[in-house]
Amino acid sequence: MHLYIHVPFCQRRCSYCDFSIAVRKQIPAREFVDVILKEAGGHELNDLETIYFGGGTPSLLPPEGIAALLHELTPEAAAEVTLEANPEDVTAEHAKAWRAAGINRVSLGGQSFDDNVLKWMHRSHDAAQTHRAVQALRDAGIENISLDLIFGLPEELNRDWDQDLEIAVALRTTHLSLYGLTVEPRTPLDRWISRGATHAPDEDRYAEEYLTAHRRLTTDGYQFYEVSNASLPGYRSRHNSAYWSGRPYVGLGPAAHSFDGRTRRWNLRAWEAYRRAVAEGRSAVESEETLTEEQRELEAVYLGLRSSDGIAVGTGSIRAVPGWLEVRDGRLKCTPEGWLRLDSLVTHDSSTH
């Protein structure tokens, strides 16, 4: 079983973000913990293999809140417990407290090492804070660190992608997640583009930067095991791999999704609506869909092609597409160019933060 907990709070909205967040100066931590535990009461949460605190900004939750949730939800430690964190929240004290609470993996929203780019994104940290965050986590004994980077930015920012990759590789975090910038409706970025203040991301640049990252990281010992994710050997994300292989999971919190292998359910998106529903003893679920056999098969093909394992093919049933798809060891797999095309079919990847 895999558990996702959505912490919706952020201190401000990043320029490209359309996630379900609640911008708050003060985080209602006690209320959040209580309401999550109440929702958890309606689920069987036995033998948790992975737990993932995603957001929003889970690192805004006080460490005591994270400790209380882990203590109540899992009597036995799960194998992989990830916290998404913004670099500015990673102090030596927080890192130690997170480790003591049971966090053993941190996903850092670094995004770039160019301070001008970070300002443009409305991020609250600078590059130096990302370096300090990695050090503080390692000092606290959290070695398994993932770093998010965004590529495909508008040309006028003059972002030096090669340099960002160079710095990321030198930091040697165990895992890297790379996301192409997408323009979501009603975000600040969408408004800037509509009034001509900035250009929409360029497709050629997107492709070039994606392929550059692929070459660079592979040369430096990282393995791309999914379209957007690369890790050092032995450090694939177990939690995300469970999503990608269609395994069941439970999601708690506003906008969180759950899947039992057949039916997908998702919670009310807005924090207030979600909080009221759970506090009043109503269901937090906004809606659900049950996948048909055909939908499940299609999803398995799509998810399989997103991973480096590809999909098993019967002899002669599927042919390779030169440059994009190849058949190796009885499995159909995407090349980096194929992944680029496959990824452009996805309108939004929910794991960017």
Residues binding ligand SF4 (CB under 6 A): 10, 13-14, 17, 19, 21, 55-57, 86, 109, 353
Q: How far is the CB of 55 from ligand SF4 (least distance, A)?
A: 5
**Run of H or E including 176:** strand 175-180
Coil, helix or strand for 110?
Answer: strand
- Under a CB-based contact definition with an 8 Å cutoff, are residues 70 and 22 in contact? no
At residue 167's C-alpha, the angle toward residues 121 and 139, to 5°, is: 95
Question: Please, which residue, 275 or 353, has the CB nearer to ligand SF4?
Answer: 353
Q: How far is the CB of 238 from ligand SF4 (least distance, A)?
A: 22
Question: Please, which residue, 118 or 305, has the CB nearer to ligand SF4?
Answer: 118
Q: Which two tokens stand for residue 53?
A: 């605190």
How many angstroms separate the Cα of 188 from the Cα of each of 20, 129, 276? 15, 24, 29
Largest Cα–Cα distance in the chain? 60
Question: How far apart, in whole angstroms, are the C-alpha atoms of residue 286 and residue 328?
Answer: 42
Q: How far is the CB of 338 from ligand SF4 (least distance, A)?
A: 28
Q: How far is the CB of 85 from ligand SF4 (least distance, A)?
A: 10
Q: How far is the CB of 308 from ligand SF4 (least distance, A)?
A: 27
Question: Please, which residue, 18 or 160, has the CB nearer to ligand SF4?
Answer: 18
Question: Please, which residue, 105 or 333, has the CB nearer to ligand SF4?
Answer: 105
Question: Please, which residue, 146 or 307, has the CB nearer to ligand SF4?
Answer: 146
Name the CA dihedral angle for 247, 253, 256, 259, rounded to a multiple of 10 degrees. 30
